[in-house]
Amino acid sequence: MKKYSAPLLFFGIAITLLIMLQVSSPRPIDWTENYYAQDKRPYGAKVLVDMLPSLFPKQKVNIPQTSLYKRRKQLKQGNYLFVNKNFFLRRSDLHLLLDLVYKGSNAFIAASSLSRELEDTLDIESKYVWAASNVKINFTDPKMHSSHSFDYTHINYLYGILREDSATSIPPIQLGTVEISDIDIRNKNTGKPKTATNFVAIPWGKGYFFIHTMPQAFSNYNMIHPENVAYIAKAFSYLPEQEVFWEDFYTEDTYASTYVSRTEDGEAEEGSYDTPTEEDRWDDSKMTPIRKNEEQGESQSVFRFLLSEPSLKWAFYLTLLSLVLFVFFEAKRRQRIVPIIKPLANTTLEFTETIGRLYFQHQDHKNIADKKITYFLEYIRTRFYLSTHQIDDEFYISLARKSGYDKEEIILLFRYIQYIQKQGIITEEQLLDLNRRIQNFIK
């Protein structure tokens, strides 16, 4: 093995250096938008969720982990908060939310884009626009308006609040605006900044839909600035004093609700948002959670997941390399011959046989018989837990019951034992007869 020492040493040093380099290198920042309640990434929402009790000091704060439909029997009046990159609910969930708001609840939705069904229902429309790196937002209410604008990045704004062809619509209440600069595809400013609506309140029955088109404002990244925290507090101040529900189930990582139907040839097409039937309205099977990747053709295998994580990928490759080198170097190794070790002789058995022959050769049959009787009585005491101090009828009954041996046979055996004990000298035949009777009982 000495000729392999140098390559193995070099391989070990290389592996150690690679591991140290991988561990010490900074991990890239994940800018994925998901707004999950426990996510500490820049566009998670852990900071905001942890602050909810202080933002709503008089209300109970809940973080349910199931859909509105799954807990439809437990739903009650309150403030329902949705913060996500895109707001798309299953049809059954959306109709439950509309019904809740209509009866007096309030829905606060912060999302860059809304489902077409919700936009059509509320008679609003949203779209994306190119924005400069610094986007300023503020409130329209003079009491809420700040002397300085709050800076954020890359958002879209809400426009067309009241469509011309919708004369029966109730005009939304403008709560906030965003100041943006027209940016062309080359990221060049094309004109003066424009002001557009990004925060509205829409009456719906006894409640309101509060629509905010900038979920980034509610992220961990933007909550680190005190002035931005003040903006969030003001935005939530429009909500009445009701129990608060942070709808964590609908975050980007846990849920997607693109409603699809099937044509006759089996191809998927965009779902219709016409008024659903009662069967469609409550059928969750037609809406697919994103975790059911097998039905969406986006299966993430274990191998693909290993390669997607840098640390796991390095560990996987190093393990493969180690196995290859182990096979290469260890395949030539020869096992030394294992010497045959003879088992140790049972000297105790030989000693016992020697002592037995010694007694027998000396014709001391009475001594052997006494030892045999002593051993037999000890056997009865340890096996059947009976005292042999007094041998009487009660003893015979107990021994017969515990041993399953016939009582009369037991009496004959002990009478013979008593006979042997009274003799001063016994013959070889009497010793053998005693041994036979005892062995028959033990068996």
Q: What is the CATH number of the domain that holds 130?
A: 3.40.50
pLDDT of residue 346: 65
Report d(CA 367, CA 202) in Å as an integer.
112
* Residue at which a domain ends, from 314, 341, 368: 341
pLDDT at 184 over 50: no
Q: Are residues 129 and 272 in the same domain?
A: yes
Q: Are residues 187 and 78 in the same domain?
A: yes
Q: Are residues 68 and 155 in the same domain?
A: yes
Q: Are residues 172 and 274 in the same domain?
A: yes
Q: Are residues 327 and 362 in the same domain?
A: no
pTM value? 0.55
Q: Give per-residue pLDDT as tens, 376-401.
A: 999 999 999 898 888 899 999 999 99
pLDDT of residue 22: 64
Phi and psi dihedrals of 49, rounded to 5?
-65, -40
Band of residue 424 on the pLDDT scale cut at 50, 70, 90: confident
pLDDT of residue 145: 82
Q: Give per-residue pLDDT as tens, 187-214.
A: 455 556 777 788 999 999 999 999 998 8
Q: Are residues 289 and 395 in the same domain?
A: no
Q: Give per-residue pLDDT as tens, 308-340.
A: 677 777 777 778 777 777 776 665 555 667 788
- CA distances for 208 relative to 40, 102, 152, 409, angstroms: 31, 8, 26, 99
Q: Are residues 163 and 286 in the same domain?
A: yes
Residue 38 lies in a domain: no
Take residue 14 and report the two structure tokens written for it. Answer: 């290389």
The 3-state secondary structure of 24-65, one letter per residue? HCCCCCCCCCCCCCCCCCCCCCHHHHHHHHHHCCCCCEECCC
Q: Give per-residue pLDDT as tens, 136-181.
A: 788 988 888 876 666 665 544 443 333 334 444 567 888 988 876 6
Residue 36 lies in a domain: no
Q: Are residues 238 and 317 in the same domain?
A: no
Q: Give per-residue pLDDT as tens, 224-247.
A: 888 888 899 999 999 999 999 999
* Residue at which a domain ends, from 266, 299, 332: 299
Residue 265 lies in a domain: yes
Q: Are residues 230 and 312 in the same domain?
A: no
- Can you name the residues that pair with 177 across neighbouring β-strands? 138, 197
Q: Are residues 143 and 84 in the same domain?
A: yes
User: What is the residue range of 395's domain?
Assistant: 350-442
* Residue at which a domain ends, from 268, 299, 330: 299
Q: Are residues 162 and 97 in the same domain?
A: yes
- CA distances for 106 relative to 103, 179, 207, 305, angstroms: 9, 27, 5, 40
Q: Are residues 157 and 91 in the same domain?
A: yes
pLDDT at 126 over 80: no
Q: Give per-residue pLDDT as tens, 254-264.
A: 454 433 333 33
The arithmetic mean of pLDDT across residues 15-34, rounded, is: 72
**Domain count for the chain:** 3
pLDDT of residue 157: 42
Contacts of 330 (CB under 8 A, 6+ apart): none
